[in-house]
A and B are shown apart, each in its own frame.
Chain A
Amino acid sequence: MRRVRRSLTLASALLVASAALAACGGDDDDGGGGQSESGEQTGGEITVRGCNPENPLVPGNTAETCGGNVLDVTTAKLIKYATEDAAPQNDIAESIETEDNQNFTVTLKDDYMFSDGTQVTASSFVDAWNYNAYGPNGYQSSYFFAPIAGYADLQCTGDGEDPCAGQGSQPKAEEMSGLEVVDDLTFTIQTTEQVSNLPVRLGYTAFAPYPESFFEDPEAFGTMPVSAGPYMVEEFTQNEQIVVTKNPEYSGEFPGNLDRITFRVYNDASAAYADVVAGNLDVTDDIPVNVLQDDIWLSDLQDRGTEREQGVISTMGMDPTVDKRLDDPALRTAISMAIDRETITEQIFAGAAAPADGWVSPVVDGYVEGQCGDNCTYDPEAAKAMWEEAGGIQGGLTLTYNADSDHGPWTEAVCNSIRQALDVECNPRPVVDFATFLTQLGDKEIDGLFRQGWQMDYPSIENFLVPLYSKGASSNYYSFDNADFERLNREAAAAPSVEEANLLYQEAERLLAEDMRIIPLWFTTGQVGWSDRVSGVELNAFGVPDYAAISLN
């Protein structure tokens, strides 16, 4: 899961000052060689909002959007997700074939080149994936490789904070048994269980190939990565900027329009926004909430902005085994029906979220409208009647959230909505930070309601259900354990086609509507604004601008 580093709070003067300093740094190279190119639509250079990557720019160790946005344009994967509908298209892959959803044969396109001139081969993938998955390397996206056979043998076995510490806890193997290089352009993947949507997953950054130079010096690679995408990193200055230029060796079908893109580091959404309004920055994908209200940003930018739903869902959960008062599904449904999602998304999020009508984001393949039905429709009278009929609860409700992110306003609004509809006391309860929040959830210490959020890893309905609500899943904080749900998911994983799998997943999703211990709230909407110099700015399903498609006017 990629964490979105968006916060609505005010940045301190210090941060603004540093952003301003950074802004001073990269101004001299404005208006480059766009005119020297033949057409108006290609070439030139732009500056876009960036932020500081948490880790060096290694695809397997980047799980946040600051580094991820850069890697999106510099890496090529087997699959590329289409900007409009996130549909998977072959990129490096010539074909990915399977008979049984468990043994996959991947054939690569010939002559696909890294930016250093070496060829992308089957072992570029197999070695990279083994390296990413290998426990002692500690890469953040290691868990992506868990479905592949032999993954467990690459993990450390120690207990405690660092499982790799201590003797005898080192992994048994360095290579996953499920990966095998057949020849230069072919390799096979074997999974431990059937995974019908494995090809869809392969477009995530963690599955990018590494050139041979990576294994010689992974650290140097982190500042100057060699990759196979349409752009390559030219300059990476921590806290200042990341410059990418067109990859001369690029051999794929999705080349970029521009010659050069500068990701200028901003620590504050307001500063980046102000620079776009002033014409000092071309694109920002972080519009501050205070200008989202009443569409101020669209009038500031003279309609040079767009928004779309992202693969991010906010939910509110409860664990009836912890809070026994909420054991009756009717009570849980009443709570859900007491929430005025429409008004909250409009007034509190100012349109940066859209009411959820199910548990699966509309941007992914497999989404069907209205899976939650009336249970997610605001109806205070019906909610109250249902609540009273089910006997209500003793005492009040709390809605627990992590206070290190900006959840205060909406939790207050949700509680107000519940309180006024059901006539039951409801108070938001902050927990100091996300780590503490998760620990308390894991220890089953949080009664009443608690917030949850999920950003998809890959655009599939499966990603919104199985990792979250299946029995024993690490994110199943609801004690949700439904035999039918498990069975449907298993059947879907074994289904012969994506369509058939989706139908089964949709059936599984409807089981959540009967239970209602996970209450869908809203889907996050991403915004992007741009200066009058550029056009063709669009957001993909992950809420990231498709930088390669941008062109100068």
Chain B
Amino acid sequence: MTDDLKAFEVVDERKGSSRSEGVRSLRADAWHDLRRNPLFWISAALIVLFVVMAIAPGLFTNTSPRETVLSEARTPPSSENWFGRDVQGYDLYARCIYGARASILVGVFAAAGTAIIGTIFGLLAGYASGATDAVVGRVAEIFFALPLILGAVVILTALPPSDEYFVIVFKVVLVFWILGWPTIFRLMRSSVMQVRPNDYVQAARALGGSPWRIVTSHILPNAIAPVIVVSTINLGVYISAEATLSFLGIGLQPPTISWGVMISDALVAMRSAPHVLLFPAAFLSLAVLAFIMLGDAVRDAFDPKSR
């Protein structure tokens, strides 16, 4: 954030933060609030755990997720296999740990990508308005009208199959980019339209600021908050959407290990060995919950009106 903006923001924010002791920027204020929110710390701890799991699964288990003992398939949890074994005889604990990577990758890339695409088009449409707004808006509506599952089925079956880990993951991410950006776009556009008539924007324009400078220095920093909030929540949503697609057999494919694939594989043993289903489902729920809780905490912090 640039210095010349500070003055406006301070004026802008004083109403909202009257109960706090000093004068803070929007972001500092949000951080101040977040720090005092136990929900934030719980979810942040969980997320850190899952991210470490995704980066270095070897820290949590020495067992290879591809090592199988088929004769012991579906054995219940024991001291040797903490979560027991699945239908293929894989160690469930190791699979759950290694499954984090795909889910986190999909969640992070999908949320970040949709946020970037949606923000760019939202800024364009909201600031330029007129014909540009109409065209981008209509295009967004076309994508918005596509149901996620239907669109994903069509796109994923049309793409050629692959054995490469990152290609498999990226295909799912791509689907979310294509189908997910209009939500962020709409949010950003309305946020930009709220910010645009503000005095500091008018002042910047009167002082001869270029559109690029006005957008990047004045509008974007002040309109981005809702996008951050929704994208954080979306991260959890995308993780569960990935699991849904993988469950249906069209998302991630073996040999990629993911919680959705594990849940799908476990169905056949639902009656004889329910733990095979429960453990990946628990990991999935926890991860989704963590991101949605974080999103909630961030929203509370960024949105003064909800206080």
A416 to B66: give the CA distance in the assembly, Å: 8
Chain B residue nearest to A291 in the complex (CB)? B271
Q: Are A344 and B70 in contact (CB under 8 A)?
A: yes
Q: Are B74 and A427 in contact (CB under 8 A)?
A: no
Chain B residue nearest to A294 in the complex (CB)? B272
Q: Are A413 and B270 in contact (CB under 8 A)?
A: no
Chain B residue nearest to A411 in the complex (CB)? B254
Residues of A within 8 A of B229 (CB): none
| Residue A290 CB within 8 A of the other chain | yes
Within 8 A of B (CB), among A402-426: 408-409, 412-413, 416-417, 419-420
Chain B residue nearest to A429 in the complex (CB)? B163
Quick one: given A348-B87, A428-B254, are A409 and B268 in contact (CB under 8 Å)? yes
Q: Are A409 and B87 in contact (CB under 8 A)?
A: yes
Residues of A within 8 A of B267 (CB): 10, 290
| Residue B73 CB within 8 A of the other chain | yes
Q: Are A343 and B269 in contact (CB under 8 A)?
A: no
A293 to B87: give the CA distance in the assembly, Å: 10
Residues of A within 8 A of B88 (CB): 348, 409, 412-413, 416
Q: Is the interface of B mostly helix, strand, loop or mixed?
A: loop
A343 to B89: give the CA distance in the assembly, Å: 11
Residues of A within 8 A of B67 (CB): 420
Q: Are A413 and B70 in contact (CB under 8 A)?
A: yes
Within 8 A of A (CB), among B36-71: 66-68, 70-71
A409 to B67: give the CA distance in the assembly, Å: 15
Q: Are A290 and B270 in contact (CB under 8 A)?
A: yes
Q: Is the interface of A mostly helix, strand, loop or mixed?
A: helix
1/0 contact string of B227-268 vs chain A (CB within 8 Å):
000000000000000000000000001110000000001011
Chain A: minimal CB distance from B88 (Å):
6
Name the residue among A344, A416, A428 with the largest chain B CB count within 10 angstroms: A416
Residues of A within 8 A of B70 (CB): 340, 343-344, 347-348, 413, 416-417
Interface size counted on chain A using CB atoms at 8 A: 26
Quick one: given A413-B88, A417-B70, are A296 and B268 in contact (CB under 8 Å)? no
Residues of B within 8 A of A343 (CB): 70-71
Residues of B within 8 A of A417 (CB): 70
Chain A residue nearest to B157 in the complex (CB)? A432
Chain A residue nearest to B255 in the complex (CB)? A427
1/0 contact string of A326-341 vs chain B (CB within 8 Å):
0000000000000010
Partner of B269, one of A293, A412, A432: A293
Q: Are A347 and B89 in contact (CB under 8 A)?
A: yes
1/0 contact string of B261-298 vs chain A (CB within 8 Å):
00001011111110000000000000000000000000
A294 to B76: give the CA distance in the assembly, Å: 14
A296 to B273: give the CA distance in the assembly, Å: 11
Chain B residue nearest to A347 in the complex (CB)? B73
7 residue pairs, one from A and one from B, having the closest CB atoms: A293-B272, A347-B73, A294-B272, A416-B68, A343-B70, A343-B71, A290-B268
| Interface, chain B (partner A; CB < 8 A) | 66-68, 70-71, 73-74, 87-89, 157, 161, 163, 253-255, 265, 267-273
Besides A416-B66, A427-B255, A429-B163, 20 more A-B contacts (Cβ < 8 Å) are A293-B268, A293-B271, A293-B272, A294-B272, A343-B70, A347-B71, A347-B73, A347-B89, A348-B70, A348-B73, A408-B254, A409-B87, A412-B254, A413-B68, A413-B88, A416-B68, A416-B89, A417-B70, A420-B68, A430-B161
Q: List 15 A-B contacts (CB under 8 A).
A: A8-B268, A289-B268, A293-B74, A293-B269, A296-B272, A344-B70, A347-B89, A348-B70, A409-B88, A413-B88, A419-B66, A420-B68, A427-B163, A430-B253, A432-B161
